[in-house]
């Protein structure tokens, strides 16, 4: 099992940057694919980014490509999401999630473990 705790959210103006962190418990963090998802009010949870066990492979949703970057530090059991050029439409609760071997890294149904979420609000 792995427990996840997100941090780093906040209220920022459009164009600003934020870095989200997701701290994982346990000694098996490196055995999990990790993902970031987000959910805006009244909308379904959507994929943001994912990263493979060692960090060699990353994937980003088209809506954030070029602005957001997922990374991980397995020595620190921590996942990151660097968010630049934030837009009001990025406003959502951001969740990190873990799965050992996803069939589809962009499908939230395949992730077994979730954090509690951190709110990101971008004002125009």
Q: Are 35 and 47 in contact (CB under 8 A)?
A: yes
User: Chunked in runs of 10, what are the mean pLDDT values of the chain (124 residues)?
Assistant: 95 98 90 97 97 95 98 97 98 96 91 97 97
> In a 10 Å sphere around its CB, with 0-12 CB exposed, 13-18 middle and 19+ buried, how is residue 68 labelled?
buried
pLDDT of residue 1: 83
DSSP symbol at 108: G
Pick from 116, 104, 112, 33: which is nearest to 72 by CA?
A: 33
Q: Are 14 and 123 in contact (CB under 8 A)?
A: yes
pLDDT of residue 121: 98
pLDDT of residue 47: 98
């Amino acid at each position: 099992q792995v427990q996840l705790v997100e941090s780093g959210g906040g209220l920022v103006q459009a164009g600003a940057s934020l870095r989200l962190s997701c701290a994982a418990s346990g000694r098996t963090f490196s055995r999990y694919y990790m993902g970031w998802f987000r959910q805006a009010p009244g909308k379904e949870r959507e994929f943001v980014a994912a990263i493979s066990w060692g960090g060699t492979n990353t994937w980003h949703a088209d809506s954030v490509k070029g602005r957001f970057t997922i990374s991980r530090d397995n020595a620190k059991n921590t996942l990151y999401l660097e968010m630049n050029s934030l837009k009001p439409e990025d406003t959502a609760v951001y969740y990190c999630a873990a799965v050992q071997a996803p069939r589809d890294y962009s499908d939230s149904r395949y992730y077994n473990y979730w954090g509690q979420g951190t709110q990101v609000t971008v004002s125009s």
